[in-house]
Chains A and B, each alone.
Chain A
Amino acid sequence: MTPRTRAARREGLVYLAPALCALGALTVYPALWVIWLSLQERMPIFGIERFEGLRNYLFLAVDPRFWSAARVTIVFTLASVALEVLLGLGVALLLRQQQLGRKLALGLLLLAWALPAVVTAKMFEWLYHPAAGLVNFLLGGRQINWLGDPALALPGLILADVWRTIPFVALLCYARLLGIPAALYEGAEVDGAGRWAIFRFVTVPMLRRILLIAALFRTLDALRAFDLMFVLTRGGPAGTTETLTLYAYRSLFQTLQIGFGSAVGVVVFALVMAVAWAYLAAQRDEDTAG
């Protein structure tokens, strides 16, 4: 190694050091610490702090509230991601052909995305109001108690999440659509392909990758989501919208079981990492195959 490269390596480490220290102290260290916490019974108000091994996890295995929260989390994630990707793709396809007022269209689309989730939650709470909500009014003056009905609260929550994340998917797809060379379409038309054939054999393959990425990002976010349900439905009614994140939060900061709540947090952590890992593995297979 020449002295020059050695100096450059040292310089590189110096530049990296502040960021790595910050990430180490505030991300990696907590991520390891939470696993340690999850192996303890820890209730600060009673001065309890002892090692319990896997007891928190064994309790979770037979905890109906945990399995209910896991089910809600999975249903919420699958339903909202599926709808977001489909509707986002639809909006992107509409926008691509837009000639008139394209900037205005993008602005209207991005409005929903820019809002804090808490604002969206308060907005939908008001839209769903049984007596004075716009939703019931538009349905012809019904009196449906959207957020109070165990069968309707989760769909209502999913709808609010879909509303707020369509722009993200739409924007990614739209930008990808603009990048498809016009020659591809012209070639297909010359070959006599119809509109459906062009969509099926030109547009969809070109969008495949970005759709997968959008679905991955949205899945990770949906599994981690917290603020929307915390404010809009508070997990209710009767726990029908209580996700794993809400259960973890309540155990941590409402019943003050730091160890148990951390174990639920670790489950969310593991779910997120498993999804990310599965995606990366699938991507690698595809790259080596193709």
Chain B
Amino acid sequence: MNRRALGRLRDLGVLALLLGYAGPYFWQVLTSLKPEAELLSLPPILPSRITWEHYRVVVEQSLIPRSLVNSLGVAVLTTVLALALGLLAAYAIARLPVPGKRLILLGIVAGSAFPQIATVSPLYLLMRALDLRDTWAGLVLANTSFALPLVIWLLAGFIAEIPEAVEQAAALDGASRFQVFRYVLLPLVAPGMASAALLTFLFSWNEFLFAYTFTATEASRTVPVALALFPGVFEVPWGDIAAASILASLPPILVVAVMQRYLIRGLLAGSLKE
């Protein structure tokens, strides 16, 4: 066998290995499509027929659809708010002579390491005092505070990479600072914003502790909470849970698939710059 064929074989081996690694998820997909009667018998591995019954039950009789709407709303609003606040702050840190800049940056980095379990009790009391329990607004605020350090960190890094000469040239041509920001800087930093937005969206979608603690009803329960609380009457409805977990994971998987490039960039920038 020549070297090329050997390389091909190795590559196929690695793909097979990764396919096996992702196997648990495919097993969950298969479970969600199995008829109820065949769930608890193994073998056979493959079902005798494919059924959409579990999805029908989840969509028609559970709180999952409503919680998907909540998750989407909270994640989108968190992303918008964290990016708006983060972009302004990052611009100031990267470009303006702010006093105590190093200290502020250090504080922001330290803030990103705060464990949620330590801040959850004061935040709970705060939410109660402000009447924000069981609302989207409460979750958006809590999630934003948690995502903001990373967003500022990422965007400040991306802005610092852009040569200042580009902005100076535009300023010499008579552009105001806002125009420079809007028409020169913003387009250049857009890929960085995509990375930050992607990570914030995923974080907010997957967040559990705050969502579990600050919500009480379907008015604001996000999909991880609804999944954790998925009811079973007499026995655990494994097929329905499988269908619900597939629905809960489709949005993040789609987002990652479409924006893979930005994800890798964002993860790297977030950990390499120091």
Contact = CB atoms under 8 A, between A and B. Distances in A.
B152 A19 contact: yes
A100 B98 contact: no
A214 B271 contact: yes
Nearest to B13: A94
Interface stretch (A22-30, A78-86, A195-203): A22-30
A13 interface: yes
Given A12-B96, A16-B104, A34-B118, A111 B25 contact: yes
Given A119-B227, A119-B248, A224-B116, A265 B121 contact: yes
Contacts of B122: 29-31, 33-34, 37, 262
B209 A22 contact: no
User: Chain A interface secondary structure, helix, strand, loop or mixed?
Assistant: helix
Interface in B1-26: 7-8, 10-12, 14-15, 17-19, 21-22, 24-25
Given A116-B208, A253-B213, A258-B121, A108 B18 contact: yes
Contacts of A163: 21, 24
Contact of A16 (B28, B98, B227): B98
B62 interface: no
Interface residues of A, number: 94
A143 B223 CA distance: 32
Contact of A8 (B45, B96, B238, B249): B96
Interface in B35-53: 39-43, 45
Contacts of A213: 271-272
Contacts of A105: 14-15, 18
Interface of B: 7-8, 10-12, 14-15, 17-19, 21-22, 24-25, 27-28, 31, 39-43, 45, 85-86, 88-89, 91-93, 96-99, 104, 107-108, 110-111, 113-126, 141-142, 144-146, 148-149, 152, 177, 202, 205-206, 208-209, 212-213, 223-225, 227-228, 230, 238, 241-242, 245, 248-249, 252-253, 255-257, 260, 263-264, 267-268, 271-272, 274
Among all A-B residue pairs, the 5 with the closest Cβ atoms: A26-B145, A12-B96, A19-B89, A30-B122, A100-B11
